[in-house]
Amino acid sequence: MKEKPLMRSEYSISELAREFGITPRAIRFYEEKGLLTPQRNGTSRIFNAADRVRLVLILRVSALVFLWKKAATLLICINQKLLTLISWKTC
């Protein structure tokens, strides 16, 4: 069984981006929106373990919202097709 690595106390933006398969720009976007609040060391961002967990939650919620929007679009399409079939059969 593969062991999970121990959670570290500090991460750079590039480490988090690489770990989660996203771009550093995406992480900066979440920071701009106030969802992440890394410490600064000059121009470098230093993310802590809480920031990492918060990023996991942000990414999970984003994925759920995306799926929800896709499901809603699919249901609208199905509804329109059904309405078309019903109106066609009644003519």
Tens of pLDDT along the chain (91 residues) come to 554 556 789 999 999 999 999 999 999 999 999 999 999 999 999 999 999 999 999 999 998 888 888 998 989 999 888 878 777 666 5
Structural domains present in the chain? 10-90 (1.10.1660.10)
Contact of 39 with 45, CB cutoff 8 Å: yes
**Residue 18: alpha-carbon gap to chain centroid:** 14
Cβ pair 13, 27 in contact under 8 A: yes
Distances (CA, A) of 17 to 6, 23, 61, 64: 18, 5, 17, 20
